[in-house]
């Protein structure tokens, strides 16, 4: 007997928890090769996923080559060498560190480890989508404080959204997709208002880029750890270290908090190649410095070139991308840019239907990205 469509629909209805049916799946961008095939073009530039245009840290690539002979062994489940290297670099104890398959995995682990059924995850309307997803997958309520793309996090509105059920407050600094940062004063105010039973999760995936803007007041979450055990900082090797394909990120916090977080992690979640590459990448100072320079230069160039176009605002950013308010629906712009071989990220799924997010490209490719943007936005 073959199941009919109606049989399958009824089966899904019986099988799936309500909160899972309410989820919408993450919409990944199409791979460059797929788009090129569809459109019959070559040499497309992808500036849609905030990847490092300089590629992976060369030291990480060399370290991976040296580790290939041990692929038959399970990885170090405690990621000792990596935690030791991070602890030494940042003046922390290895017990304060947890390693994840990307910092994204740690967002899910935080919800699993700390939220009871009635607890809430709080962020804001212009925040990274994974915060909402991590709460939703676990059936926890996500509360988005009102804000705007121009504002980034509105601290007063965020604090007004706290309740006795608030358990995790998740904030990006720099925030994706706005590129905005939290100042030290912002974070002090948030901590002063944080409900007793809550953690503040500072998602600093772009921290190393922000460090290239010393004149802008922005928080470095790691400096808060010694003072406040309610702070958890997330960082990643996907961005400035150029290791997005390997899936490795880390979290830092008070040792007992991180011990709890570690309990709900999957065993062997981070592979050997990811671990050895991350350790090596930490010492690739030249690659980090060049990547931060390219990002700052690219942001300044993008903002200068788009300034003055009618209805267009390219917001300030301390990351490796710029959020562009185009003042019109972005679907036609996205299509025209595609045909010009430039793949950007439309922001409709983020509740910003007139915005595009444009990652910084390499210096050699920026002129093409800028020319295409100026052409479609003029
Ligand atoms: C703000 C922010 N947090 C976390 C991540 C996830 O990074 P990963 O899981 O690759 O470490 C990203 C990736 O785009 C991001 O923009």
Question: What confidence tens digit (pLDDT) does each residue in 17-44 have?
Answer: 999 988 887 777 778 888 889 888 889 9
| DSSP 3-state of 183 | coil
**Interval between CA 103 and ligand 1 midpoint (Å):** 6
The torsion angles phi and psi of 242, rounded to 5 degrees, stand at 70, 35
pLDDT for 25: 73
Contact 104 CB / ligand 1 (< 6 Å):
yes
CATH 3.40.640.10 placement within the chain: 58-283
- 4 phi/psi in degrees, rounded to 5: -80, 170
Q: List the chain residues with pLDDT less than 50.
A: none
Helices 366-377 + 331-339 axis angle, to 10: 140
128 CB near ligand 1 (under 6 Å): yes
**Closest atom of ligand 1 relative to the 49 alpha carbon:** 14
Any ligand 1 atom below 6 A from CB of 317: no
β-strand partners of 231: 200
The 10 Å CB-count burial string (b at 16+, else e) for 354-376 is bbbbbbbbeeebbeebbebbeeb
- Ligand 1: does its nearest atom lie under 6 Å from the Cβ of 320? no
Whether 253 lines ligand 1, by a CB cut-off of 6 Å, is: no
- Which neighbouring-strand residues pair with 145? 124
Measured distance CA(375)–CA(378) in Å, rounded: 6
Three-state DSSP class for 322?
Answer: strand
For ligand 1, the distance from its centroid to the CA atom of residue 78, given in whole angstroms, is 22
Closest CA to 103 of 199, 208, 205: 205
Structure tokens at 43: 């040499």
What's the pLDDT score for residue 31?
A: 82
pLDDT, position 39? 86
Ligand 1, atom nearest to 175 Cα: 1
Ligand 1 atom index nearest CA of 236 = 11
Spatial distance between the Cα atoms of 135 and 115, rounded to a whole number of angstroms: 9
Q: Indicate whether residue 174 lines ligand 1 (CB < 6 A).
A: no
CA angle 361, 364, 366 (to 5 degrees): 45
DSSP assignment of 211-253 equals TT-TTS----GGGGTTT-TTEEEEEESSSTT--GGG--EEEE-
pLDDT of residue 28: 72
pLDDT at residue 27 in the model: 72
Residues 27-55+286-377, CATH architecture: Alpha-Beta Complex (3.90)
CATH, domain range 58-283: 3.40.640.10
Is-contact 345 49, C-beta < 8 A? yes
Which has the closest alpha carbon to 137: 226, 257, 20, 27? 20
Residue 340 near residue 355, CB atoms below 8 Å: no
Distance from C-alpha of 66 to C-alpha of 54, rounded to nearest angstrom: 22
Neighbouring CB atoms inside 10 A of 277's CB total 28
Q: Is the CB of 179 under 6 A from ligand 1?
A: no
Please state, in angstroms and rounded to a whole number, the distance separating the CA atoms of residues 231 and 344.
33
Helices 129-137, 102-114: inter-axial angle, 10-degree rounding: 40
Q: Ligand 1 centroid vs 121 CA: distance in angstroms?
A: 18
From residue 357, how far is each of 144, 186, 324 by CA, in Å? 20, 25, 6
Q: What span, in angstroms and rounded, lies between the C-alpha atoms of 341 and 193?
A: 47
Would you call 301 exposed, middle or buried from its count of C-beta atoms within 10 A (0-12, 13-18, 19+)?
Answer: middle
* Any atom of ligand 1 within 6 Å of the Cβ of 269: no
Axis crossing angle, helix 102-114 with helix 255-263, rounded to the nearest 10: 90
Peptide bond into 156 cis (omega under 30): no
Polymer length of the chain: 378
pTM: 0.96
Task: Tell how strand 45-46 and strand 342-343 pair up.
Answer: parallel
Query: What values do phi and psi take at 202, rounded to 5?
Result: -95, 110
How far apart CA 225 and CA 233 sit, in angstroms, is 8
Q: How far is Cα 296 from Cα 210, in angstroms, rounded to an integer?
A: 9
């Amino acid at each position: 007997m073959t199941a009919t469509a109606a049989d399958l629909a009824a089966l899904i209805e019986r099988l799936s928890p309500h909160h899972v049916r309410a989820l919408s799946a993450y919409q990944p961008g199409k791979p460059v090769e797929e788009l090129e095939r569809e459109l019959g073009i070559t040499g497309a530039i992808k500036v849609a996923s905030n990847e490092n245009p300089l590629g992976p840290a060369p030291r990480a690539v060399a370290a991976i080559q040296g580790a290939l002979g041990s692929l038959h062994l399970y990885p170090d489940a405690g990621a000792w060498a990596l935690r030791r290297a991070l602890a030494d670099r940042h003046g922390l104890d290895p017990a304060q560190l947890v390693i994840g398959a990307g910092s994204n995995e740690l967002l899910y682990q935080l919800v699993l480890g700390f939220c009871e059924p009635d607890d809430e995850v709080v962020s804001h309307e212009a925040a990274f989508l994974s915060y909402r997803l991590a709460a939703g997958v676990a059936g926890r309520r996500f509360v988005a404080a009102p804000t705007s793309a121009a504002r980034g996090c509105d601290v007063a509105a965020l604090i007004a959204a706290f309740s006795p059920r608030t358990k995790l407050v998740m904030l990006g600094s720099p925030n994706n997709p706005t590129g905005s940062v939290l100042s030290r004063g912002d974070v002090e105010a948030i901590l002063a208002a944080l409900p007793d039973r809550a953690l503040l999760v500072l998602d600093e995936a772009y921290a190393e880029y922000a460090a290239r803007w010393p004149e802008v007041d922005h928080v470095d979450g790691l400096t808060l750890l010694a003072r406040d055990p309610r702070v958890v900082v997330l960082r990643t090797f996907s961005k400035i270290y150029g290791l997005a394909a390997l899936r490795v990120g880390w979290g830092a916090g008070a040792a007992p908090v991180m011990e709890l977080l570690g309990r709900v992690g999957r065993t062997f979640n981070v592979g050997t190649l990811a671990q050895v590459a991350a350790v090596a990448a930490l010492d690739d100072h030249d690659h980090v410095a060049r990547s931060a320079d390219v990002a700052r230069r690219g942001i300044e160039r993008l903002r200068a070139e788009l300034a003055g176009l009618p209805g267009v605002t390219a917001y300030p950013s301390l990351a490796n991308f710029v959020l562009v308010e185009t003042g019109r629906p972005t679907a036609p712009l996205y299509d025209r840019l595609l045909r010009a071989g430039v793949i950007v990220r439309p922001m409709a799924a983020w509740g910003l239907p007139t915005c595009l997010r444009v990652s910084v490209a390499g210096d050699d490719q920026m002129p093409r990205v800028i020319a295409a943007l100026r052409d479609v936005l003029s």
